[in-house]
A and B are shown apart, each in its own frame.
Chain A
Amino acid sequence: MVDQTALPKTSGASRHLDNDAPRDEEGLLLEYDAIICGTGLTQSILASALARHGKSVLHCDTSDYYGELDAVWTLPYLQEKLGKGHELKGKMVTVRTDDSTCIPLSPKGGLQSFQIHSLERRNDFTVEQGTAVVTPYGNGTIISISPRGLFLDLLVSLDTWKLANGKNPSVHISIPQSAASTGAAFQKYLKEKLGIVSIDERDAHLILDERSRGFAVDATPGLLYASGASVEGLLKSGVADYLEFKSLEGLLWLENSDSCLEPVPCSKNDVFASKLLSPMDKRRLMKFLQLALDYGTAHALAEEEASAENNKQVLSLNERYLNQGRSLARPQNKAVLADDIRALQEFIQADMKFHEYLESKQRLSPKLCRIVRHALALESGNGDWSLRQGMTSLCQHMQALGRFGTTAFLVPMYGSGELPQAFCRSAAVYGATYLLRLKAAAIATDGEASAAMVKEVMCRHMVVPQDSVATLESKSRRVWRYLCIFRGKVVGSSRSPQRHAIIVPPGAFGPDAVRGVLLDEGVNVTPHVPCGCTILHLTMAVENDTGIDPQDILRRVSLSVLSSKYEGSNAIRIFQVTFSYALPEASNQTKNVQNLHCVQRSEPGLSADSSFEQAREIFAAICPDGNFLAISEQVDTVVKERLGEQIEEDADGLVLDSAMDIIEPKTRESSAT
């Protein structure tokens, strides 16, 4: 390995920001502080943090878009390139550090285990009795189709016209029997010769063909907690400048295949209004949520005291309350007895399970217990959570409530795939080099160039996605994703925005929990069309080889979602796709290599906050004394110099310069070039 202490510290830290660092003929540095492969969210956050700390970063990706499995695709891209299995062209780069192993990298990078299982577009639209249709004479409804001699007589009532007697006019259209003998030919004749198609088909064509570029399809949809690591990181790094959000409208609960979507009670108002709970349950839930909030406050206070020295900005208790679930933390809600908190802390020490605590100590009913575990604490992964885990997660949710909007979550405009791109831009602003369409071939740590490699780049730290180094075991967990596009809206009314999270607890449809997000054009992820368009994302992580059919489960969930649409909704499913990717586990091969950091795909949750945590960990490993996502002084000075702020201080010099320009423009010009 490179002995880092032997290198002069100043030379490496920010030399790349000046132009005197050695570069090759393509403009790449000969050596980077860090090479990051893959532009997933974690890697992008890390790149931004490193670049802002003054490290030289080369960030590459095999695809021609940002984000890997956190990307945002257009619908045509999903259909054409991903659906057909794309072949990417790119050059190979060998990455070299000074040890003696060579680890080949998968040419597909983080997309190695990506697989599309089905991709279907609805085509079976038919025109029959009662179908709403578009005709050359206006929109109408088919009243009857009856044979009359050698012809079929089609009677259409035109809804867009109204006669003086209040009735709709109708038209008779004759179709020769010979031309319309079978069903398919009849439909074809109507469509091609008469210009009569069903409204459903017309809308599907409008959404999926004409406006299909208006889709922003997230590979992994993620929401953000309105307060916490992610929002802090966005603000600290200035990435919040690039992004806009809308708040989630609500969390919905799908108990089982026979029930409808019900709002999850998060705030005090919700709890009172909820139809999911009995009065007794409501009281117990309120009490428990109050306890959780107080526990969160106590916990945060204890943490703050522990790090009081480095924490300059101490919030008053009042300020803290302001940022916490406003609807819960009101003075009139009496503080829970300190005894309860102490008891809770003792149970945490005793390593109790979260569900055990809820059932036996808080005496919540089984149904309420499930709601708290899966919809409020958002329990994920396989295996039961410990009480500590459960309370931490629950507090995070409660504290984010009411900061922006009415729920705890934020939805990025144009899809969550914008997040990695925004962080990459921030990294680029501070000098990181970006290379898309580039395959990293191998990590050679022996310092010997192999002849097969096209190009070598040296680095001190290497960050790769786990997928590209791990040999995938068939036993490993896989994330199954299902997304479908609806014409129309599902929740609320025809005017309500569709921005909802859907929680399906384990055991409802299959052994695993399913998370869903329902989004529409309010966040620009679907095209703006008069008939409305909604996209449903469903995500589920399952063990391989357990004999269940994830595709079937996800389809049934989507049908249940669709069947709980509001009365009068015109929602129909017009497109669906299922794909999956692996959640590889850390392999021993890479653990032993120094300065090689693997990015682990995290268990899919509702929020993307775990990526921030992971990026922070890797950042701490690379820069132990660095301040995560903060701009270092060095970089700040260089940037200010660039933007000419130093010249401002030297006003006399500026006057002299401009005077020189007037006197001898020619000579100055030649010296400048």
Chain B
Amino acid sequence: MAAHRPKTLKIVILGDSGVGKTSLMNRYSTGKFTGQYKATIGADFLTKQVVVTDAFGQRHVVMLQIWDTAGQERFQSLGVGFYRGADAALLCYDVTDLHSIDNLNHWRQEFLDQVGGSMMVPGLSETAAQFPFAVLGNKVDKVNDRLVPLARAEQWCRDAAGAHSMGSIPFPHFETSAKTAVNVDEAFHEVARLALQYEDYKRRSQPPQLFVPPSVPPIDLRRQTSSTYEERNDTCC
């Protein structure tokens, strides 16, 4: 069954209000940019099927599920449910807003606080540091208003990644523009690759077991057929 359906990777997009999270998502999914700023309404999550090449050159078809904050980040009111089951996180800031890059610490910490425990790979306590984050500096098209130099953002990526484990690789950093589409596809592609890698790592670091009991897949209410009915169908074919 699992072989037929591509693996779904949940990616959450975090950052201050107005840095362009929804615009980035829209640009990535529809290739469009709507222009003026409006607080997010109607943006939920989008799914996109992509092909990711892993470190061994093997190609995987995965379903990216990118979750918008839906405006709940405005007053720091994202609940734990938003983060549940995330495979990677995109941290966004605005290159024309110094405050927004300072707040990345807060978003990263919030993320780790909310999901840290359930993400934990058995036996490894510093997985928190290995959890895939990618950093996006949006609005690079506004050349004249730019306040956050590239070096500063890269320093942050090094510091944040190195704060927990020795000699770690800095978070991947992209300077993007939802308006002109610079680096948008690249950033999402990289985060998909990292999510897949982390997922694989998580799976392989499980303690070896001779017998793994078959796990029942969760029920998706949108599929109207009864699961028992479907199972029966499977066995007779």
Contact = CB atoms under 8 A, between A and B. Distances in A.
B45 A241 contact: yes
A495 B79 contact: no
Contacts of A638: 41-42
Interface in B6-31: 26, 30
Given A434-B72, A643-B26, A429 B44 contact: yes
SS of B interface (majority): loop
A326 B213 CA distance: 28
A546 B225 CA distance: 48
A497 B216 CA distance: 9
Given A434-B72, A436-B77, A642 B43 contact: yes
Contacts of A429: 41-44, 70-71
A234 B222 CA distance: 9
Interface residues of B, number: 44
Given A234-B221, A669-B141, A428 B216 contact: no
Contact of B41 (A211, A421, A431, A530): A431
A424 B77 CA distance: 10
B38 to A, nearest CB: 6
Contacts of B80: 65-66, 72, 421
A524 interface: yes
Given A214-B117, A647-B34, A410 B81 contact: no
B120 to A, nearest CB: 7
Contacts of B74: 27, 433-434
Interface in A156-213: 211-213
Contacts, number: 144
A213 B120 CA distance: 9
Interface string A636-673: 00111011100100000000000000000000010011
A227 B109 CA distance: 40
Interface in A386-445: 402-406, 410, 413-414, 418, 421-422, 424-425, 428-431, 433-437
A404 B226 contact: yes
Given A235-B221, A405-B228, A428 B30 contact: no
A17 B41 contact: yes
Interface in B81-138: 81-82, 84, 116-118, 120, 122
Contact of A66 (B38, B42, B79, B219): B79
B165 to A, nearest CB: 18
Question: How many of chain A's residues touch chain B, expressed as a range?
Answer: 35 or more
Contacts of A643: 26, 30, 34, 42-43
Contacts of A246: 216, 218-219
B81 A421 contact: yes
B75 A435 contact: yes
A244 interface: yes
B221 A644 contact: no
Q: Which of A403, A405, A497, A643 has the most CB atoms of chain B within a 10 A radius of its CB?
A: A643
A19 B38 contact: yes
A107 interface: no
Interface of A: 17-19, 27, 65-67, 72, 74, 211-214, 216, 231, 234-235, 238, 240-247, 326, 402-406, 410, 413-414, 418, 421-422, 424-425, 428-431, 433-437, 495, 497, 522, 524, 527-528, 530, 635, 638-640, 642-644, 647, 669, 672-673
Given A402-B226, A424-B72, A428-B72, 17 more contacts: A18-B38, A235-B221, A238-B44, A241-B45, A247-B227, A403-B226, A404-B226, A418-B84, A436-B75, A436-B76, A495-B213, A635-B42, A642-B41, A642-B42, A642-B43, A672-B36, A673-B142
